[in-house]
Amino acid sequence: MRRSSVSIVLALVCVALELGAIEAADPPSLTVFAAADLTFAFKELAPRFEKATGARVTLVFGSTGNFAQQIRQGGPADVFFAADQSFVDALSAEGVLLPETRTLYAQGRIVLATAKAFGPKLTDLRSLLNPQVRHVAIANPVHAPYGRAAEQALRKAGLWEALRPKLVFGENIRHTLQFVQTGAAEAGIVALSVANVPEVEWVTIDAASHAPLDQAAAVVRKSPRPELGLAFIQFVNGPEGRQIMKRYGFMLPGEF
């Protein structure tokens, strides 16, 4: 009994340690932490960068706020594409990002999105007051940049207080879009960059109705390959990259 009990414990120790054997696939040469709204554009763009440079790119999509925390704690990113420049500026000030690599890559636009399942496309923010629109999805204005812009636009139109009971908050802009895509919310305010999906119709909202959504990227100071990271940022803003970015609604001033 004594021997078998010892062997059970030893077996458990072995299994627990087995993890040391998990081999990561060959180390990616460039890891990009990118805001969730860049998913579609970067999935198209990254293979072209790989082809042009021969480098391998690992794309990680998620919430800008989470990424900021992770990069602060040594997260293995080489480049950070934030949905809001304030995060890039804060991390640069802390010395986590290389300030000289900071680059504006887009100014975000918001659109009024209607679920096709709901019916006729809404063309005016005021039509959200229509009682048939029971839920209006926006990104959480407390931490999501597009949510903040949506709140500003609704306030400017004098609709914020009246619409408040109908609002549902998405965690990020893709999540917000899903509320509309599934028809769970009849309408919503989402980013132009994610709005081109079959289940949704949209019209742009005047850019003057909210503070500019400046989106910036920068290279991480800890990155062992800063030149490659900078090359990726330059590729995004280069002729080939801009063409894709524009198609997904990531415009720079002068491109609107």
Binding footprint of other proteins on the chain (CB under 8 A) = 1-2, 5, 9, 12-13, 15-20, 22, 24-25, 28, 31, 36, 39-40, 43, 58-62, 66, 69-70, 72-76, 174-175, 178, 197
Distance CA 221, CA 115 (A): 43
Which C-beta is closer to other proteins: that of 75 or that of 188? 75
Least Å distance, CB 18 to other proteins, is: 6
Distance CA 224, CA 27 (A): 12
Distance CA 106, CA 216 (A): 7
Distance CA 100, CA 216 (A): 12
Return the bridge partners of 56, or none.
none
Which C-beta is closer to other proteins: that of 96 or that of 189? 96
Least Å distance, CB 185 to other proteins, is: 17
Q: Which amino acid makes up residue 96?
A: V
Least Å distance, CB 79 to other proteins, is: 14
3-state secondary structure of 153: helix
| Interior/surface letters 134-168, b for 16+ CB within 10 angstroms, e for the rest | ebbbbbbbebbbbbbbbbbbbeebebbeebeebbb
Which C-beta is closer to other proteins: that of 25 or that of 208? 25
Least Å distance, CB 165 to other proteins, is: 26
Query: Cα dihedral sign for 28, 34, 39, 44?
Result: negative
Least Å distance, CB 10 to other proteins, is: 10
Which C-beta is closer to other proteins: that of 15 or that of 208? 15
Which C-beta is closer to other proteins: that of 66 or that of 237? 66
